[in-house]
Amino acid sequence: MPELRWVGKEKVVNHHLDVPFRTLRNVYTFASEGHAAASRGDAGGNKIIHGDNLEALKALLPEYEGRVKCIYIDPPYNTGNENWIYNDNVNDPKLKKWLGQVVGREGEDLSRHDKWLCMMYPRLKLLRRLLADDGVIVVSIDDTEVHNLRHLLDEIFGSRNFIANIVWQKRYVSNVTAKFLSDMHDHILVYSRNIENVKVKRLERTEEQLKDYKNPDEDPRGLWRAQDLSASKPYNAGRFEIVTPAGLTVTPPPGRYWRCNREQYDKWIADNRIWFGKSGNGRPMLKSFLEELKNGITPNTWWTYEMAGHNKEATLELKTIFDGASPFDTPKPVKLLSQIFEHFCSKDSCILDSFAGSGTTAHAVLKLNQQDGGNRKFILIETMDYAENITAERARRVMNGYGEAGKRIAGTGGSFDYYEIGQPLFLDDGNLNETLCIDEIRRYVAYTENIPHVQQTARDNPHTSYLLGMANDTAYIFYYEPTRSTTLDLEFLSTLNFKPAASVIYADNCLLGRAFMQRHHITFKKIPRDITRF
């Protein structure tokens, strides 16, 4: 497979491994009016995180690695426009600082595209780790970077996991000031974690589409839609003569063909599937019955603004929520994201958006849940300070309801936790950061030991408050106290009121003999030396 090279690439390919692991600090928990008040830090799964997504994605790994069903991202398109409320290109001071630290002096000579690629690469690497085995990543992009992004996604997710490049019609009228051609569409790239496991849901027909179904001949099979029996595609033996019920002989118009051969036509006639109009002399039409469309519409890659909304619609949606103000320049329409989530998620999926902007993802998730009683969850990450007063505020307003009296949109209800990026788990000298909450450290160690989420235990478990969890008949014990040094010895073992077949025990020191540990299948790991860093 051809590989994309750019200046600075070698500095970022493994950068996701060097990003320090930080905790997420819960700032507040929001619950909508009438929604059962969620306890602090436990809003049931919805999260909004203020901070750089590189650190936030890393902080999500212990809880979410391999658990996210759908990632939707709408990263800066890198069009060179610096006048937007957020910086669309890579000259944002935060990004410049980050590039300086990671790429070093070479970073000063990077082109705009090099910088964008350096920014995207480690973030996509972390996103892949968060994706479930049957999950998909969906990325909005325009022509400025689509070719580079395809290469990145091929490299990180594997070209065999490519699903589609959807063309979304983002504008409904041409831009008359365009220099050459008016740019009417965005690309929506879809890749899977593992193509064998992906299911794409077919959507039901909309009210609008159902209007085409009628039953003028009172067919007992119910409503049907007429489809012209002739088509421009040359069907095999599709130019024979047909005699209408009123006795007229017809052949397909010039350049067209019947969409069947004679044998199939006779079968359709016998089954009353050909309609010649009320007069019996009209153009032959094939009946397609509503009842037979059980599988819904086969999704395709051409998404018009009628089905998926357009940019102006997205701006109007935001204005309605923010009382006429337009606080964000480049939102996506709710319809577009709803359609993505309907195709690629189930009703209880976890959906992650690490370039959250105005929070359209939260809006679409809440609305879909309201419509179909689903329990989808959202995790949003936004680096700019408007994470609170635009991203989170939008989620609050959608949950509580918004709009003027008379045109008020009912609230969806719901709750979310709001986080800032917390402290690093390890200090620069390699020691554990002892000011951290012990549960954060426990969660991290449990994660590095691959203890499945459901097998992790809380500190108030019946065995010992030091137990992290059980996996493969092995007990994982984290004997750690921030204020004193701990020792694995016979005295400590006597405090355990259970006898696991094998155990991995973390402590500051160990006084047990090698033979004793072998006999009792105990593995000692020294704090902090043996805590894996990833």
Ligand X SMILES: C[S@@+](CC[C@H](N)C(=O)[O-])C[C@H]1O[C@@H](n2cnc3c(N)ncnc32)[C@H](O)[C@@H]1O
In the complex, the residues that contact ligand X under the rule CB under 6 A are 52-53, 74, 76, 86, 328, 330-332, 355, 357-358, 360, 381-384
For the bound state, the minimum distance from the C-beta of residue 141 to ligand X, rounded and expressed in Å, comes to 10
Q: How far is the CB of 19 from ligand X (least distance, A)?
A: 12
The residue number with the shortest CB distance to ligand X is 357
Q: Which is nearer to ligand X, 317 or 417 (CB)?
A: 317
Beta carbon of residue 324, minimum distance to ligand X (angstroms, whole number): 18
- Looking at the Cβ atoms of 86 and 506, the one nearer to ligand X is 86
For residues 313 and 440, which CB has a smaller minimum distance to ligand X in the complex? Answer: 313
Angle between helices 334-344 and 311-321 (to 10 degrees): 110
CB of 359 to ligand X, least distance (A): 6
CB of 77 vs ligand X, minimal distance in Å: 7
Q: Which residues contact 92 (CB under 8 A, 6 or more apart)?
A: 86
CB-wise, 332 or 343, nearer to ligand X?
A: 332
For residue 55, the minimal CB distance to ligand X (Å) is: 9
Least CB distance to ligand X at residue 350 (A): 18
Task: Name which of 320, 308, 475 is nearest 406 in CA terms.
Answer: 320
Rounded to 10 degrees, the C-alpha dihedral 469/470/474/477 comes to: 10
Token readout for 529 is 């030396």
CA 166 to CA 181: how far, in whole Å? 20
List, as one string, the DSSP characters of 112-148. Answer: HHHHHHHHHHHHHHHHHHHEEEEEEEEEEE-TTTHHH
82 within 8 A of 89, measured Cβ to Cβ:
yes
Closer by beta carbon to ligand X, 34 or else 324 = 324
Instruction: Determine the Cα–Cα distance for residues 140 and 149; give it in Å rounded to an integer.
Output: 10
Q: Rounded to whole angstroms, how far apart are CA atoms 38 and 399?
A: 14
Q: Where do we find the tokens 């690490």? A: 354
- Distance, in Å, from the CA atom of 193 to the CA atom of 215, rounded to the nearest integer, reads 45
Residue 391: which residues within 8 A CB-CB, separation 6 or more?
48, 356, 357, 358, 359, 362, 380, 382
Q: Which residue, 84 or 240, has its beta carbon nearer to ligand X?
A: 84
* H or E stretch at 192: strand 185-192
Residues 152, 143: Cα–Cα separation, whole Å:
15
Least distance from ligand X to the Cβ atom of residue 384, Å:
4
Task: Please identify, using beta-carbon distances, which residue of 97 and 533 lies nearer to ligand X.
Answer: 97
In the complex with ligand X, the residue whose CB is nearer, 417 or 449, is 417
C-alpha 307/C-alpha 34 separation (Å) is 33
Shortest reach from residue 355's CB to ligand X, in Å? 3
Q: How many CB atoms are closer than 10 A to CB 257? A: 20
Angle at 245 between CA 241 and CA 248, to 5 degrees: 50
Query: Is the CB of 53 or the CB of 503 nearer to ligand X?
Result: 53
Q: How far is the CB of 78 from ligand X (least distance, A)?
A: 11
Can you name the residues that pair with 418 across neighbouring β-strands? 28, 48
Please report, to the nearest 10 degrees, the dihedral formed by the alpha carbons of residues 43, 48, 52, 54 taken in order. 60
DSSP-derived letter for residue 356 is -
Residue 357 CB, nearest approach to ligand X (Å): 3
User: Closest approach of Cβ 283 to ligand X, in Å?
Assistant: 46
Whether the bond between 528 and the residue before it is cis, its omega within 30 degrees of 0, is yes
Secondary structure letter of residue 365 according to DSSP: H
Tokens of 424: 């690093």
Which pair of tokens denotes residue 400? 């509580």
